[in-house]
Amino acid sequence: MKYLKIGMILVLSIVLFLCERNFLNRTPLDEVTELDYFKTPNDLKTYVNQYYSRSLFSSYNNYGNDFTSDNEINITPNTRLEGTRTVSTSGSIGFGNVRSINYFLTHYQKVKKKNDLDSYKQYLGEAYFFKALIYFKLLKSYGDIQWQDKVLETNSPELYNKRTRRDTVATNIINVLDSAVQYLSGEVERGAGRVNKWMALLIQSRVALYEGTWEKYHEGDPFGVPNPDYDKFLKKASDAALALMKSGKYSIYNTGNPEKDYQDLFSKQSYESNPEVLFWREYDNDLTRGERGFTHDINFRMERPVGHTITKSLADAYLCNDGKPISVSSKFSGYAKLADEKKNRDPRFYQTIATPGAIWKIHENGSTENWSEVYDRLNSSNDYQAPSGYVIMKGYNPHMEFHIQQYGEKGLIIYRYAEALLNYAEAKAELDELTQQDLDQSINMLRDRVGMPHMNIGNITTDPDWNFPSLSPIINEIRRERRIELSLEGFRWDDIARWAAADELIVGQRPKGFKASQITQNPYSVDENGFLDPFKEAIPNGYGFKVGRDYLNSIPESEITLNPNLEQNPGW
């Protein structure tokens, strides 16, 4: 009977929007079945454990996650930015996780009948939390998406429903997170354990800010919604972030060393006692891939550029240490050498970008090497390919004892408190409610860490190179701060998409690098001003991103064939 039940579940999983068609080749619900489980609270724990190992989190940060943006450049152009993607003819949207989590939310009731709420509410809260993550990923990929609250059968008429409007989906996600906040523990564990209510509030602020700004800036275009109520979402974003801020559970990591604290935050072996980190991925040789920790070779790989370099656009975004942009500050020393560029800049510049003279390797005997040796080797081999010249250092630990191929143990941040502060400031600014007090308890705390002047709402220096000259100075500077603080952590594409900003930042643009005269070996093109221009031949007219299409993915044609009530996304 047990195997018959498993078979029935696998058959059901191939139906449209219940699971991906290749589900038989995927891990089946961790072999959790109705007959064997859903009897005790521990059964619920066992079931939700599977989601900790799935790719539901936004980033297992190796600090090179911004390729689909204007922050980072690889060896070849990104196909989304280039506008060369084609309609998916086969495959599926991937509702396996939706079906799986709904299965839990349907059957946990059996445990509810025999146990007190306190004995299982944490796992119920986790299920709601993961359902929110699952649907947020779908929302960002496809926009309108069927919302499902139950386990469907092969003859369920809901299989042929139309796609649910994105604003309804976003509202449902936020409501699900309200349930997660209600049930999840407020205890702060070691950060690598189980999710808690503060993480749910962080994700709620993220989802609400995303949808609120999406509806605001896509209003009237093919991706907008009729009669948008974006202030509702923006208010929820600020409220959720403020609830986390007022909890007193977390704070910005700041030891009082502005020359090192930002860099050190991302290069630690453990975040067990770090006040800024809500959740992190533990890597440990004593843990197996089946548990919540295992190993990686990130430090080993980050010894060399290997194509992972940042753009001149990102480098130029860092303010000078007088709080003014490089376009107007008398303290900017020019581009002749990277050592000149780093002078008098926001310390996050040279704690994100490796610069000559900074320590590259610390050997176990105490001897050191510096990044000058890397810059001397740029483009001399495959390992040292650097299309823009600006080598990433964020997230890198120079201690060679931790540079073990395939067996590294550096911890990686998944959620950190800084995002909540940035979400709060942006939501308040978009609501036109931002005060100096709001800035002082959010963005200026980030600036304090690196010793930068405070952002003053009444005294913002005009930047002739602002990305968004039609928007207010405060919106431009808050967006700049977000770009700098969260650089390379995987947020930039989502920000570009929700701001409908591809026409300003992507279309017709080519990513540039530093002055080519600084390096002796250069296989890349150079622009008329002497800056590296690695895609000059590949995309002579710049990125061909299609603003009427490429903000969302296409719905696979095979899915539309199965369900004629589905409609293709705009432009596809």
Average pLDDT (129-154) is 94
Binning pLDDT at 50, 70 and 90, where does residue 7 land? very low
Average pLDDT (274-280) is 95
Radius of gyration of the chain (CA): 24
Q: Helix, strand, or coil here: 361?
A: strand
- Whether residue 552 contacts residue 141, with contact meaning beta carbons closer than 8 Å, is answered with yes
**pLDDT for res 306:** 84
More confident position, 562 or 253: 253
Q: Across the strands, what pairs with 296?
A: 408
Q: At what angle do helices 121-142 and 96-107 cross, to 10 degrees?
A: 150
Binning pLDDT at 50, 70 and 90, where does residue 345 land? very high
Token digits of residue 58: 């936004």
Binning pLDDT at 50, 70 and 90, where does residue 157 land? confident
CA distance 324 to 319: 6
Average pLDDT (445-451) is 98
**pLDDT for res 11:** 34
CA distance 242 to 236: 10
Q: What are phi and psi of 222, to 5 degrees?
A: -60, -15
197-230 pLDDT per residue, tens: 999 999 999 999 999 999 999 999 999 999 999 9
Q: What are phi and psi of 10, to 5 degrees?
A: -70, -35
**pLDDT for res 156:** 84
More confident position, 18 or 225: 225
Average pLDDT (399-404) is 82
Token digits of residue 33: 């079945």
330-342 pLDDT per residue, tens: 999 999 999 999 9
In angstroms, what CA-CA distances link 113 with 33, 107, 120? 18, 11, 11
Q: At what angle do helices 417-430 and 197-217 cross, to 10 degrees?
A: 40
94-125 pLDDT per residue, tens: 788 999 999 999 999 889 888 999 999 999 99
Does pLDDT of 294 surpass 60? no
Average pLDDT (395-402) is 87
Give residues with Cβ within 8 angstroms of 287, minimum separation 6: 293, 294
Does pLDDT of 22 surpass 60? no
**pLDDT for res 296:** 60
Lowest mean pLDDT among 37-51, 129-143, 407-421: 407-421
CA dihedral 347, 353, 357, 363 (to 10 degrees): 110
> Nearest-CA neighbor of 185 among 122, 120, 133?
122
Does pLDDT of 284 surpass 70? no
Burial class (CB in 10 A: 0-12, 13-18, 19+), 465: exposed
> Nearest-CA neighbor of 287 among 298, 279, 296, 278?
296
> Nearest-CA neighbor of 429 among 474, 492, 469?
474
Lowest mean pLDDT among 23-32, 262-271, 541-550: 23-32
pLDDT averaged over every residue in the chain: 89
Lowest mean pLDDT among 201-205, 283-287, 349-353: 283-287
CA distance 396 to 73: 18
Does pLDDT of 511 surpass 70? yes
Neighbours of 371 (CB within 10 A): 21
| H-run or E-run covering 247 | helix 230-247
**pLDDT for res 90:** 87
Does pLDDT of 42 surpass 70? yes
User: Angle CA(18)–CA(20)–CA(26) in degrees, nearest 5?
Assistant: 115
**pLDDT for res 475:** 98
Does pLDDT of 569 surpass 60? yes
In angstroms, what CA-CA distances link 210 with 136, 281, 442? 10, 24, 18
Average pLDDT (403-424) is 86
Binning pLDDT at 50, 70 and 90, where does residue 4 land? very low
Binning pLDDT at 50, 70 and 90, where does residue 70 land? very high
**pLDDT for res 293:** 43
